[in-house]
């Protein structure tokens, strides 16, 4: 929904890159004792239980608050002075906070166990009630966008209201695409049986998939991770079984993608949006030309990044051609020893403290106060995310920790999100949320700090080689793979305009970006053409994926600026995170002398990865 009220669990709540680049291993439910005492969420900071009186209290308050808000302000916004509009915004913000707390609690419970019928019902019921209660609020952005510019400017002269200027500016960017009030209300009411329902179908289908690999029944997490096992025969067996199971379910996935793409096309047509990507760019507060500059820079760099690296890896593995099950394979000299949870915690916290003690202090409560859920469990959502909840609570981090080096980097990544969300909370509910393009900044920077700390501690050339290769692979998965995914989505949505797409057509679109992005070192097994079907971003948040590439490229340039001129960098960095969504990317990057609208900006970030490949080549 682009105009109606939205609460918790928006797209920025999740970081599910694990589906492609951060695969996990072993069987669900078997790992908790293997890596130490893995933490679990304590959700009591939100609510004591699903049947707690506080839940009913907040639902009752929300229903009344939304009704009274509409009664007090609908049809009257243009006549308000700055002080009255400020009161209006504060009431809107409080509604957002209470709805967000309810939605966060229900969502976090659900993602702990997506196959639990009680949790699924609670989540669905809460979503339904929030949607119904907040329906009267749909008028707000529509009516604001009908107020004359000079009237809005007069309101914003009020000192307290002035800090909310970014809210008004972002709303008014959507003016050309508004529907009538009646249609906006209809879309709001239908949302729970629209995209949301198809998202649930996708989630439940993926959660129920079973993969039989060498006689063992596995879930998706476990099967996918075997594609990064030391044993090549296990990697192949897993890849072929994933392809087999996806192939058997491809009709369902095809229906989901056809429906969601068509729904998007219909909405775009009614709103007059020029491209399927326009809504995402507007919600990200980023200009289309900036995204295209990023996309073009990465595609142009395929030969010097992924093509060159995978040719090196082909040689290290002693193969004539790489197969898809070799892409995330460990190097022959890589130590497969599991990293204990306490060791992972120490690695990340030492790296954070090495940057600035404050960063470690902000991360500490995640480990000590039940803000992390780390173990792999039956029914738990795959991947990893950091969800900010609401600004009068705190974020929660979800992992599926299985002791790999990449799991350590995932911990660093999600803690970066968490630190960012804690710092941005002081902006309040309406200004704390960071556009997706900037939401990855602290997470990727946290990874970079952890990687550099580990690299500095490498005792042998082989250890350094493994670390460098791992970082390059993560960067390829973040930059190259995500831009290839973005191209796939663009092709899919464009093709859907011409009519219903068959599974074979979508498969062909997927394969059209694979060889281009991965390079000539690869062959592609039969069945790999279906691997688009289990990537959640295409379903939950179309065109989300370029935000990962944006964040990785931005952080590479940011880290280079830190190395070149560390004096005062930490203070500027914390100020950037504290700003949340209150500033445009140009304002946030200006203190560092960086400009994402300059095409050379992206080349600077890409050059950092290329230089790592240079070092790897020199080691051979």
- For residues 260 and 161, membership in a common domain is answered with no
Whether residues 129 and 266 share a domain: the answer is no
The answer to whether residues 171 and 277 belong to one domain is no
Q: Which of 185, 208, 232 is the last residue of a domain?
A: 185
Burial state string for 297-322 with b = 16 or more CB within 10 A and e = fewer than 16: bbbebbeebbbbbbebbbeeeeeeeb
User: What's the pLDDT at 456?
Assistant: 92
As a whole number of angstroms, the distance between CA 251 and CA 471 comes to 36
pLDDT exceeds cutoff 70 at 180: yes
Question: Binning pLDDT at 50, 70 and 90, where does residue 142 land?
Answer: confident
pLDDT band at 295 (very low <50, low <70, confident <90, very high): very high
For residue 31, the model assigns a pLDDT of 39
Note whether 176 and 273 are same-domain residues. Answer: no
- For 166, the domain range is 36-185
261 falls within a domain: yes
Instruction: Say if residue 357's pLDDT is above 90.
Output: yes
Q: What is the mean pLDDT of the chain?
A: 90
Inside any domain, residue 218: no
Is 152 a domain residue?
Answer: yes
Is residue 50 assigned to a domain? yes
90 pLDDT band, cuts 50/70/90, is very high
Say whether both 117 and 263 belong to one domain.
no
Given 164, 185, 206, the domain boundary residue is 185
Q: What is the pLDDT, as a whole number, of residue 440? A: 84
Look at the chain and report how many structural domains it folds into: 2
For residue 22, the 8-state DSSP code is S
Q: Considering the domain boundaries, does residue 279 fall inside one?
A: yes
Q: Are residues 164 and 253 in the same domain?
A: no
Distance CA 100, CA 492 (A): 33
> Is residue 474 situated within a structural domain?
yes
Residue 166 shares a structural domain with residue 275:
no
pTM over 0.85: no
Q: How far is CA 575 from CA 39, 389, 398, in A?
A: 30, 21, 26
pLDDT band for 446, please (50, 70, 90 cuts). very high
Is the per-residue pLDDT at 221 higher than 90? Answer: no
**CATH number of the domain to which 603 belongs:** 1.10.1370.20
450 found inside a domain: no
392: number of CA atoms within 13 Å, CB side?
12
| In a shared domain, residues 478 and 583 | yes
Using the predicted structure, report yes or no on whether residue 502 has a pLDDT greater than 50: yes
Residues 172 and 276 both lie in one domain? no
pLDDT value of position 552: 87
Residue 216 lies in a domain: no
Which tokens hold the place of 188? Answer: 């709001």
Distances (CA, A) of 21 to 387, 439, 449: 20, 19, 19
Q: For the ranges 178-192, 363-377, 463-477, which has the lowest average pLDDT?
A: 178-192
Q: Indicate whether 176 and 265 sit together in one domain.
A: no
Residues 60 and 176 in one domain: yes
Asked if residue 169 and residue 57 are part of one domain, the reply reads: yes
Q: What is the 3-state secondary structure (H, E, C) of 408-435?
A: HHHHHHHHHHHHHHHHHHHHCCCCCCCC
Residue 26 has pLDDT above 60, yes or no: no
Task: Report pLDDT digits (tens) over 572-589.
Answer: 999 999 999 999 888 999
| CA 307 distance to own-chain centroid | 26
- Give the domain-ending residue among 162, 185, 208: 185
Integer Cα distance of 72 and 63 in angstroms: 14
Share of the chain above pLDDT 70, in %: 95
**CATH code of 167's domain:** 1.20.140.70
């Amino acid at each position: 929904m682009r105009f109606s009220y939205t609460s918790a669990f928006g797209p920025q709540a999740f970081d599910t890159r694990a589906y492609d680049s951060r695969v996990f291993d072993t069987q669900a439910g078997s790992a908790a004792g293997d890596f130490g005492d893995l933490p679990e969420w304590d959700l009591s900071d939100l609510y004591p239980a699903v049947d707690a009186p506080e839940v009913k209290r907040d639902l009752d308050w929300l229903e009344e608050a939304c009704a009274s808000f509409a009664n007090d302000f609908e049809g009257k916004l243009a006549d308000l002075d700055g002080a009255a509009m400020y009161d209006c915004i504060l009431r809107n913000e409080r509604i957002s906070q209470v709805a967000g707390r309810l939605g966060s609690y229900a969502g976090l419970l659900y993602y702990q166990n997506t196959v639990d019928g009680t949790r699924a019902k609670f989540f669905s019921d809460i979503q339904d009630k929030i949607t119904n209660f907040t329906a009267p609020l749909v008028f707000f952005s529509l009516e604001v966008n009908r107020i004359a510019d000079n009237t809005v400017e007069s309101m914003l002269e009020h000192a307290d209201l002035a800090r909310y200027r970014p809210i008004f500016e972002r709303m008014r960017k959507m003016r050309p695409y508004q529907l009538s009030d009646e249609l906006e209300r209809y879309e709001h009411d239908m949302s729970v049986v629209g995209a949301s329902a198809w998202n649930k179908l996708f989630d439940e289908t993926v959660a129920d998939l079973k993969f039989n690999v060498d006689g063992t029944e596995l879930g998706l997490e476990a099967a996918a991770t075997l594609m990064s096992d030391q044993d090549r025969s296990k990697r192949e067996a897993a890849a072929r079984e994933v392809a087999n199971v996806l192939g058997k379910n491809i009709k369902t996935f095809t229906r989901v993608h056809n429906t969601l793409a068509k729904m998007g096309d219909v909405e775009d047509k009614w709103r007059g949006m020029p491209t399927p990507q326009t809504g995402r760019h507007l919600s990200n507060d980023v200009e289309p030309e900036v995204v295209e500059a990023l996309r073009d820079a990465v595609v142009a760099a395929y030969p010097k990044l992924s093509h060159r690296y995978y040719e090196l890896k082909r040689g290290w593995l002693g193969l004539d051609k790489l197969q898809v099950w070799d892409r995330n394979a460990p190097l022959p000299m890589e130590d497969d020893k599991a990293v204990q949870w306490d060791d992972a915690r120490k690695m990340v916290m030492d790296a954070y403290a090495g940057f600035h003690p404050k960063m470690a202090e902000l991360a500490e409560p995640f480990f000590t106060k039940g803000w992390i859920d780390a173990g792999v469990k039956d029914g738990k959502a795959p991947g990893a995310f950091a969800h900010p909840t609401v600004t009068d609570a705190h974020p929660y981090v979800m992992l599926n920790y299985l002791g790999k080096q990449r799991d350590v980097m995932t911990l660093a990544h999600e803690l970066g999100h968490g630190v960012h969300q804690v710092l941005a909370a002081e902006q309040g509910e309406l200004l704390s949320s960071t556009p997706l393009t900037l939401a990855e900044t602290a997470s990727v920077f946290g990874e970079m700090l952890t990687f550099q700390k580990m690299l500095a501690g490498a005792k042998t050339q082989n250890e350094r080689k493994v670390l460098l290769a791992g970082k390059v692979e993560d960067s390829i998965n973040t930059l190259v793979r995500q831009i290839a995914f973005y191209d796939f989505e663009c092709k899919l949505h464009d093709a859907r305009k011409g009519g219903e797409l068959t599974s074979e057509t979508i498969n062909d679109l997927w394969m059209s970006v694979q060889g281009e992005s991965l390079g000539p070192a690869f062959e592609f097994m039969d069945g790999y053409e279906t691997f688009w079907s289990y990537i959640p971003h295409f379903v939950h948040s179309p065109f989300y994926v370029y935000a990962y590439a944006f964040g990785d490229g931005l952080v590479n340039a940011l880290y280079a600026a830190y190395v070149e001129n560390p004096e005062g960098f930490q203070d500027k960095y914390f100020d950037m995170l504290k700003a949340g969504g209150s500033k445009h990317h140009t304002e946030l990057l200006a203190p560092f002398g960086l400009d994402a609208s300059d095409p050379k900006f992206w080349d600077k970030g890409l050059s950092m990865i290329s230089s790592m490949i240079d070092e790897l080549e020199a080691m051979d």
